[in-house]
Chain A
Amino acid sequence: MPLLRMREATFVAGEAFAGPMTLDVEFGERAALHFASAREAAIVARLAAAVVKASDGCVLVGDYDPHVQSVACKRIAALVPHEPFPLTESEFARYVEYRAELWNLEPRRARADAAELRRQLTGMHEALAYPLIGALIGGPKLLVLDRPQPVYAQQILTAAGQCAVLSTHDNAASARAFAPKALHFLKVIES
């Protein structure tokens, strides 16, 4: 059973449009998707993370339909938005606590996990690391990256560990950075 299943998934809202997308992502698998526009990449990332719902077609996250079981979907998939979070040290601590509350995590454990992830992501710009750390402290099975920075690909994939990773990109070089031959189970899907 795939962790993420998309069948002719389409999103339409005003001028925003994406799809149709057909895709399977298995447990532990890593997929990088290349799109013609940044907006389409952003929409597909949000579809995969159940933040937005498909207008047509089908999206299943771990066998759950975001239209009726979005809470279950969001426990499985975590979105890392493209936009950096320019937070101070104390604001980041508050952010971690906030995420812990919303995800019903033990705050002390969340703080410890965040500190460990920061250590792993040493050298990565804080504003880019914070959203990734926030997404990973909830223990997702699927990490969805919206146009991540290719220069940090290795660090991001290492931090993700056994978690399945789906990244969306608006250029092919960036997508390839998340699918190097040295790592297994990687693929670049051109839409």
Chain B
Amino acid sequence: MTGRIAIAVLRARLYAQRRVVFYASVAAFVAGFVQPEGLAAPLFLCSLLGITTALAQSPGLHPHLDSCEQSAPLFGRHLARAKALVPCVAATLAVGLYAVAQALRVMPHVPTTFVVALGAVLAATLTALSATIRRGASRVLYIALAAGVAVAAYALVAKAHSLVAELLVCAIVAFLALRQYGEALGRYDPI
């Protein structure tokens, strides 16, 4: 039941946001081709793309989908997991295409860069999701938190040289962000 819903939400939202996903993927591929070196470009650019696709889940952009989901007989946490899949898939696609471009430029450590960037991007994306159902200062705060997650992940890898710590922190942040989004969506009153 939950898997069926997740696939339905993923299909519907990816179709509705196909242009955003396409442009994000193209931007990541071009950036990977132009700037294949280092970790900063994939991590920060793809985090930005992930945050953008997360914010594209905000109510009002696709009213027929919003209305359908708000009145559907689903628990908030189920809907949250399904909706979270959408920007995560888009962000993973962007990171993947960046890695493909790097591989085409025959850069070393492509798999490591991919894993490090993906961890940070998913954590930032899931954190930004909570901003979609908030307004004003709290919305800005969640976007800033998402950016902060990307910066912290970069610092852990580039400055502290700890790949394990980066992945662990990103996994914890992603888990907490998804739980927080589910609880907030359950309490959300779409007025």
Contacts and interface: CB of A to CB of B under 8 A. Distances in A.
Contact of B71 (A53, A78, A83, A85): A78
A95 B71 CA distance: 14
Given A74-B72, A94-B15, A98-B12, A46 B190 contact: yes
B73 A75 contact: yes
Contacts of A185: none
Given A43-B191, A75-B73, A102 B1 contact: no
Which applies to chain B's interface (DSSP): helix, strand, loop or mixed? helix
Interface of A: 11, 13, 16, 39, 42-43, 46, 49, 51-53, 70-72, 74-75, 78-79, 81, 83, 85, 87, 94-95, 97-99, 101-104, 130-131, 134-135
B35 interface: no
Interface of B: 1, 4-5, 7-9, 11-12, 15, 63-65, 67-75, 189-191
B189 A13 contact: yes
A32 to B, nearest CB: 20
Contacts of B189: 11, 13, 46, 51-53
Contact of A52 (B63, B68, B190): B190
Contacts of A104: 1, 4
A85 B73 contact: no
A102 B68 contact: yes
Nearest to A83: B63
20 contacts: A42-B191, A46-B189, A51-B70, A51-B71, A70-B75, A74-B74, A83-B67, A85-B67, A98-B11, A98-B12, A99-B68, A99-B72, A101-B7, A102-B9, A102-B68, A102-B69, A102-B72, A103-B72, A131-B64, A134-B64
A135 B64 CA distance: 12
Which applies to chain A's interface (DSSP): helix, strand, loop or mixed? helix
A71 B75 contact: yes
B41 to A, nearest CB: 36
Given A74-B72, A78-B71, A98 B65 contact: yes
Contacts of A51: 70-71, 189-190
A53 B70 CA distance: 12
A2 to B, nearest CB: 20
B64 A95 contact: yes
B63 A85 contact: yes
Given A52-B190, A94-B12, A85 B72 contact: no
Given A51-B71, A78-B71, A87-B64, A102 B191 contact: no
Given A16-B191, A74-B71, A94-B15, A102 B5 contact: yes
B8 A98 contact: yes
